[in-house]
Structure 1
C-alpha cells in the first residue's frame, strides 16, 4: 500500500495511471475512518482500476475552532483499516501547506442558493471551504469517479454543483447512508459520544422514520411541530434544526408539491457533538 504525503508524489502516480488509461476512483475523507467510509472504498474498487483515498482534516470548512481541534485524527489505524480492504489502495495524507500552499483561503462560491439552506445557515462559510478543498483535490487526483455518502446530502448536492461551476470531468457518485444496527448513521464524530449519548442517538433516525411514515398524511407544519416536541422530551439530544426540503434545490417545503422529491433532514447535538442525518420521503 502506498501512502503519499507530498503533492508531487501523488501527482506522479496519477500521471502514470492516466498515461496507461486507468480509471481512478477517489474517496475524499477527513480520516477517523469507519465502515461507512469502507463501503465507499469498496464500491470505488469495484468500479475503477485504481482507488485513491485522501485523509485530510480540512481547516477551511470548520467555523468552530474547538470542533476542528477535537476532530479525531487516527491516521495509523486508518491506514491499517484500509490495508485490510485492499493493498492496492493509494492513500494521500497531505499537510495543509501541500494542499493550499502558503495561502489557506476559501474561494467564495455561488452554489445557486444550495449553500444558504440548512447547514449553510448554521455553519458560516462551511461550503466555501468544502468547495475549495475539493477543487484542489480534484486537480491533484484528477479522478474518473468520486464517491460521497448521502449522510451529507447537502454536501453531495453542493459537490455536484461545484463540478458544473468549474466544468470538471469527474463523475460524482452518491452512496447510501451506512448505519449501525441501531439505525444511527455512522460518523467519525460518533467516537466522541459517551456511552449514554451513543445509546440515545438512534432517536434521530427513529424520528426520521416516523416522519417518513406520516409524510403525505400529515402536513409539513404538523410534522415540524411534532419533531420539535419529540426533541423537547429528550434529555440527551437537543435539536438544532429539522427540515423537509426539496431534493433539487434544498429549499424548505411549506406544502407538498406534486412531482417533487423530498427529504427530511435533522441536525442535533449530543452534548458538544453535532450529529446530522436525513431520509428520503418519497
Structure 2
C-alpha cells in the first residue's frame, strides 16, 4: 500500500498508471469503520485503481471543539484498508497542502439543498464539504467517487456540485451500514460509552416505526409522534426530525404521489451528535 502526503507525489504516481485504468475515489476523514470498508470494497470491485483520502477537513466544522475531538486513528486505518486490498493508494495530506496555506471554504449556491436539516444547524458546513470534495475530484480525476447514504443530504449536494461545476465523474451512493443493534456506523460512535452505544439503537428503531406509520398517517403526524418518543428518552436529545423530498430535500407536510421521501434525524447522545435517515 502506498501513502502519499503531497498532491505532487499522488499525481506523479497516477500519471504512470495505464491510461485504460478506471479510477475510483473514496474521500474519508479517517477513523475508518465497517461502513467505510463497504465503500472501499465497492470501489475496488468496480475500478482498477482506488484512491482513499484520509483528511480531517477543517472548513466543514462549525464547532472547533468538535474538530479537536475528531478521532485520529491513522495506523489502524491503514491496517483496515490493507484488509480490503494492498493496492489501494492512500492520500493523507496536511491542511496547508490541500488549501495551499489558505484554509478557507469556497462559497456555493446549492439551490436550497444546503439550507435545511444539517445546513440549518451547521453554519457553512456544506461550503466546506463542497470545497474539499471539488478539490479532490479535480486533483484525482476519478471515473467514480463513493459516498455513504448515512450523509444523504451531503450526497445530494455533491451530486449538485458535480453537475454545476461540470465535473465528469459518476457519484455512487452506497447503503448505510449499521451496527448489530441498528445504530448507523459513524466515527463518532467511538466517543459513546457502551451503554450509550446500545441506547443509540433507539434512533433506528424509531425510524423503522416512523416508516410504518408514514404509510398510513400524515407527515405531520409522524413527525409529532417521533418528537413524543424522544421526550421520554434519557440521554438522547432530539435536535430535528424532518420528512423531505429526496430530490429537493424540501421538508413536506402533505404527501404526493410519485414522489420519493426520506425521514432525516439528528440526535445528541450525551453531547455526541448522531445523524441517520431512512427511505419512506
| Shared fold per TM-score greater than 0.5 | yes
State the match for 2:229 in structure 1: 230
- Structure 2 matches for 1:203-282, cutoff 5 A? 203-281=202-280
* Structure 1 residue 131, shift from structure 2 partner: 0.2
- In structure 1, distance between residues paired with 2:197 and 2:56: 23
* Structure 1 residue 25, shift from structure 2 partner: 0.6
State the match for 1:35 in structure 2: 34
Q: List structure 1 runs of 4+ shifted beyond 3 angstroms.
A: none
1:159 aligns with 2:162: no
1:22 aligns with 2:16: no
* Structure 1 residue 275, shift from structure 2 partner: 0.3
Conserved 8 A contact 1:244-1:263:
yes
* Structure 1 residue 214, shift from structure 2 partner: 1.0
Note the residue ranges of structure 1 that are not aligned, 5 or more in a row. none
- In structure 1, distance between residues paired with 2:15 and 2:268: 44
Residues 166-187 of structure 1: CA deviation (Å, up to 9, x unaligned): 1100110000000111111000
* Secondary structure at 1:217 match in 2: coil
Residues 122-142 of structure 1: CA deviation (Å, up to 9, x unaligned): 000000000001111111111
- In structure 1, distance between residues paired with 2:41 and 2:198: 28
* Structure 1 residue 188, shift from structure 2 partner: 0.3
RMSD in angstroms over aligned alpha carbons? 0.8
State the match for 2:2 in structure 1: 2
State the match for 2:13 in structure 1: 13
* Secondary structure at 1:116 match in 2: coil
State the match for 1:74 in structure 2: 73
Conserved 8 A contact 1:6-1:94:
yes
Residues 89-133 of structure 1: CA deviation (Å, up to 9, x unaligned): 000000001110021111110011101010000000000000001
State the match for 2:104 in structure 1: 105
User: How many residues were matched structurally?
Assistant: 280
* Secondary structure at 2:30 match in 1: coil
* Secondary structure at 2:26 match in 1: strand
- In structure 1, distance between residues paired with 2:70 and 2:44: 27
Q: What is the TM-score when the length of structure 1 is the normalising length?
A: 0.98
Q: What is the TM-score when the length of structure 2 is the normalising length?
A: 0.99
1:196 aligns with 2:195: yes
* Secondary structure at 1:113 match in 2: coil
* Secondary structure at 1:115 match in 2: coil
Residues 180-233 of structure 1: CA deviation (Å, up to 9, x unaligned): 111110000000001221110010000000011111311111111110010010
* Structure 1 residue 12, shift from structure 2 partner: 1.1
1:139 aligns with 2:138: yes
State the match for 2:115 in structure 1: 116
1:96 aligns with 2:95: yes
Residues 66-102 of structure 1: CA deviation (Å, up to 9, x unaligned): 0000000000110111111110000000000111002
* Structure 1 residue 20, shift from structure 2 partner: 2.4
State the match for 1:127 in structure 2: 126
